Amino acid sequence: MSRAVEGARIRAMIAGQRRLERGRLRLAAAGGAAVSVAAVCLLGLSGWFITGAALAGVAGMLAAQTFNYLMPSAIIRLLAIIRTGARYVERVAGHEAALRALARLRPQLFSALAAAPPERALGLSSGEASARLIQDVDAVQTLFVRLSTPWALGAGAMSAIILTSMATPTAGLLLALTLGVGAFGSVILARRLADPAGRELQVAVGALKDHIGALEAAAPEMKAYGLQDWAADSVASVAARHDAIQTRLTLAAGWIALWQSGVTALAVVLVVPATVGASLPMTALAALAAVMGVEAASGLAGALHQNGAAAQAMARLDELTTEPSVDLQAAVPSHGLRLAARNIDLAPGMRLAFTGPSGAGKTSLIERLAGLRPARPGEWFLGETDAAHIRPEGRRALFAYAAQDVRLIDGTVRQNLLLAGPADDAALWRALEDAALADRIQTDPRGLDAPVGAGGEFLSGGERRRLGLARAYLRDAPWLLLDEPTEGLDAATQGRVLEALEQRLARTGQGLLLVSHHPAPLSLCPVTVEVGKLHGPLQTSDQSALLTA
Quick one: how far is CA 177 from the chain centroid? 42
| Fold category of 3-318 in CATH | ABC transporter transmembrane region fold (1.20.1560)
B/e letters for 72-99, b = 16+ CB within 10 Å, e = fewer, are beeebeebeebbeebbebbbebbebbbe
**Residue of 474, 498, 473 lying closest to 486 (CA atoms):** 498
- List the CATH code of the domain at 337-548: 3.40.50.300
Do the Cβ atoms of 434 and 480 come closer than 8 Å?
A: no
What's the confidence (pLDDT) of residue 473? 93
Residue 511 backbone zone (phi > 0: left; psi -120 to 50: alpha; other: beta)? beta
The pLDDT value given to residue 325: 55
Q: How far apart are CA 199 and CA 313, in angstroms?
A: 8
Residue 437, pLDDT score:
92
C-alpha dihedral sign at 434, 435, 440, 444: negative
**In Å, how far from its chain's centre is CA 109?**
7
Question: In this predicted structure, what is the pLDDT of residue 12?
Answer: 80
Per-residue pLDDT of the chain (549 residues; tens, 9 = 90+): 444 444 567 788 888 888 888 899 999 999 989 998 998 888 888 888 788 777 766 655 655 555 566 777 888 889 899 999 999 999 999 889 988 988 888 888 887 777 777 767 677 777 777 777 777 888 777 778 777 888 888 898 999 999 999 999 999 999 999 999 988 998 898 889 888 988 888 888 888 888 888 888 788 888 889 988 999 999 999 999 999 999 999 999 899 889 989 999 999 999 999 998 888 889 998 999 999 888 887 777 777 777 777 888 887 777 776 655 556 666 677 788 888 887 888 888 899 999 988 888 888 888 888 888 888 898 898 888 888 888 888 888 889 999 888 888 889 999 999 999 899 999 999 999 999 999 999 999 999 999 998 888 888 888 999 999 999 999 988 999 999 998 888 899 999 999 999 999 999 899 999 999 888 999 899 988 888 743 444 444 443 333 333
Distances (CA, A) of 23 to 37, 83, 394: 21, 21, 39
Smallest Cα–Cα separation from 161: which of 41, 78, 75? 41
The amino acid at 305: H
One-letter identity of residue 528: T
Half-sphere CA count of 86, side-chain side, radius 13 A: 20
Q: Which helix (H) or strand (E) holds 380?
A: strand 380-382
Domain map of the chain by residue range?
A: 3-318, 337-548
Bridge partners for 380 per DSSP: 339
What is the per-residue pLDDT across 63-112, written as a single tens digit (0 to 9) for each?
Answer: 555 556 677 788 888 989 999 999 999 999 988 998 898 888 888 888 77
Instruction: Give me the DSSP letters along 36-87.
Output: HHHHHHHHHHHHHHHHHHHHHHHH-HHHHHH---HHHHHHHHHHHHHHHHHH
φ and ψ at 314, to 5 degrees? Answer: -65, -40
Greatest pairwise CA separation for the chain in angstroms: 120
Residues 315/10, Cβ–Cβ less than 8 Å: no
Alpha helices in 412-509 (DSSP H): 413-417, 425-434, 438-442, 461-474, 491-508
Q: How many CB atoms lie within 10 A of CB 542?
A: 13
Which strand (E) or helix (H) includes residue 184? helix 169-189
Name which of 520, 477, 474, 480 is nearest 497 in CA terms.
Answer: 520
pLDDT given at position 61: 60
How many angstroms from the chain centroid is the CA of residue 417?
25
Distance between CA atoms of residues 210 and 130, nearest Å? 9
Integer Cα distance of 20 and 15 in angstroms: 9
CA distance 387 to 374: 10
- d(CA 184, CA 260) in angstroms, rounded, equals 11
**Structure-derived torsion over alpha carbons of residues 124, 419, 9, 152, reported in degrees to the nearest 10:** -100
Phi, psi of 412 (to 5 degrees): -95, 170
Predicted local confidence at residue 533, as pLDDT: 43
Beta carbons of 218 and 224 less than 8 angstroms apart: no
Q: In what order do the strands lie in the sheet with 351-355?
A: 399-402, 479-483, 511-515, 351-355, 528-530, 539-541
Report residue 180 CA to chain centroid gap.
37
At 56 the pLDDT is 66
Interacting residues of 438 by C-beta distance below 8 A, sequence separation 6+: 429, 432
Q: Which residues contact 62 (CB under 8 A, 6 or more apart)?
A: none
What is the model's pLDDT at position 187?
A: 87
